[in-house]
Structure 1
């Protein structure tokens, strides 16, 4: 779309042939010499007009490329006026010089004012048409680009909202919790009731925070403790949480819950060993560290949190990083400090 047709090699080759021929016919019509076409159509004047058309078109194309390098996006009216004036002045100077050179060197006399006026009027009109076509394409391209950007933003918002919706439902945790409650209800009703309380706390938080942009880390960590107790009822490795976070920065809702779930689900199940997850602050980052013992068919990597990373990219330029430090895997999460929040 941004490739204007005037830069096409075929247009550059054949365009001046037609425009130059049209100029020649107009000159004959103005000079009342149309009948001379039957005698000698391929006259010297025809080739002169075509050559002038080639020369003016290439200079105009060069001016488009030069003006395209200037940053006048915020002042389109200034660009239209300036480019139109420069193009017309350039055309008049170029045509006047070429016609004067042809008349004096080939025809051996100087052109009069009327002849220069005719040549300059015709080629100035062609220049005006050329520039108008360019700006028509230019503004149409800007308008279409703006529409495409708005559509992309709308699509990203829908995608972002859908990801929040999916995270809020979390079908894997839902079915695992319900299955565990069904088993516990037969053998230990009190334990089943405790499991139900943890489950309701976690899901109430997930569903209530879906429309909120950010939450404080303290809110997230409170629900994370309920999630860990819930996981300790499920057939996964028992989890210990070490929380060294002291400041009150913000995170996206369910961020910590998503990370804990990915860590727990990717760790080999063991009744003897526990999984210790440590939360700490390092500058503008929240670090989550643990000793990985991953399942053979399921690992925790950047792809595992691609949706979370995409959500964070709307709010900060700092990415979520995952790296190893000795035997410890460290997840670095950027802190958020937004003034405005969405309503629940």
Structure 2
């Protein structure tokens, strides 16, 4: 939390000077002794008022800190009332003692009850104003903090929605598919119809699963079969996804599809390269294994799946891991809740 203005050294140093001068002027006004102001403005009385203002404000500040560290009252109104009452009581005690000693040892006679009432009244008002200034600034700070938190939440929701949109609509795959579709419509109408079915199945799954937190791995595997057919319909693509998963568990929707799509995208495109991706399972992980031939400019990296890694960390203590040899790459993806 940012430090409030009452704790700032400059405010603590300069504020008692201004409030002390104001107290001094008010006391002279109440005493009907304006002529003293012309004769001796910078007198002992002024310094006493400034000194008392400093003591009163520091005591009020320490009282605020004490009440903040000891939140023993549930009601905010009760806390404020007690804080004001304690501050007034301490102010009256300090002012009474200080003014009595000043009159007895400096002025040379005892202070009257009227003078004590006047000093205590003015300094009590100063103490109350000090606390009200603090409370108003604290309230304003909380309001601004709440607004900033709300704006941050709105920003986060927008970013999450945008990520969901990007996850559901992959423009690169979409445009590449449209280009292939233009060629197929000229050469083979039957293949074009099948191609549209593959593409529609994939995007129907992505859009329908945007509202789901987890899906069955069997649903994901069905879509991967359609994705394999779609990739093999593109020019110079030869992709085979070998599925060796027998159990049923949950995965983040679109996670396996996104990873395999990234693998296909960053593998060298050639009619002579046959990309075999094997999906198997261990006790706690799904293992995605393939012989990699990465493009020079876009080498596969696990950091590319930062969003997927973050989502899996929410549901599992296990992490997505990547292991490589000279020819093969294995990606370990945690299994989530096992379905009954």
User: Can you give the 5+ residue segments of structure 1 that lack an aligned partner in the other structure?
Assistant: 338-344
Structure 2 distance, partners of 1:75, 1:246, is 56
How has the CA–CA distance of structure 1 residues 47 and 307 changed in structure 2, closer, same or farther, with 3 Å as cutoff? same
TM-aligned CA distance change 1:98 to 1:217, over 3 Å: farther
Change (3 A) 1:329 1:101: farther
Query: What pairs up with 1:145-184 in 2 under 5 angstroms?
Result: 145-184=145-184
State the Cα deviation string for residues 214-252 of structure 1 (Å, max 9, x = none).
54333233212211222233334523243536344352x
SS of equivalent residue, structure 2 residue 89: helix
Are residues 290 and 71 of structure 1, via their aligned partners in 2, closer, same or farther at CA, if it must alter by over 3 Å? farther
Q: After superposition, where does 1:114-193 map in structure 2 within 5 Å?
A: 114-187=114-187, 189-193=189-193
Structure 1 residue 17: Cα displacement = 1.5
* Alignment partners' CA distance in 2, 1:160 and 1:226: 27
- Quote the residue 2:36 is aligned against: 36
| TM-score, scaled to structure 1 | 0.80
CA 1:71–1:240: 2 relative to 1, 3 Å: farther
Measured in 2, the distance between the counterparts of 1:179 and 1:155 equals: 35
Contact 1:241–1:276 at 8 Å: present in 2 too? yes
Deviation for aligned residue 1:165: 2.5
Match in the other structure for 2:323: 325
CA RMSD of aligned residues (A): 3.4
Does the aligned pair in 1 maintain the 2:225–2:241 contact within 8 Å? no
Query: What TM-score do the two structures reach when normalised by structure 2?
Result: 0.81
Give the match's secondary structure for 1:232.
helix
Q: Show the counterpart of 1:203.
A: 203
Cα 1:36–1:207 change in 2 (3 A) is same
Number of aligned residue pairs: give it: 333
Task: Specify whether residues 86 and 230 from structure 1 end up closer, same or farther in structure 2 by C-alpha distance, changes over 3 A only.
Answer: farther
Structure 2 residues not aligned, in runs of 5+: none
Instruction: Name 2:281's counterpart in structure 1.
Output: 280
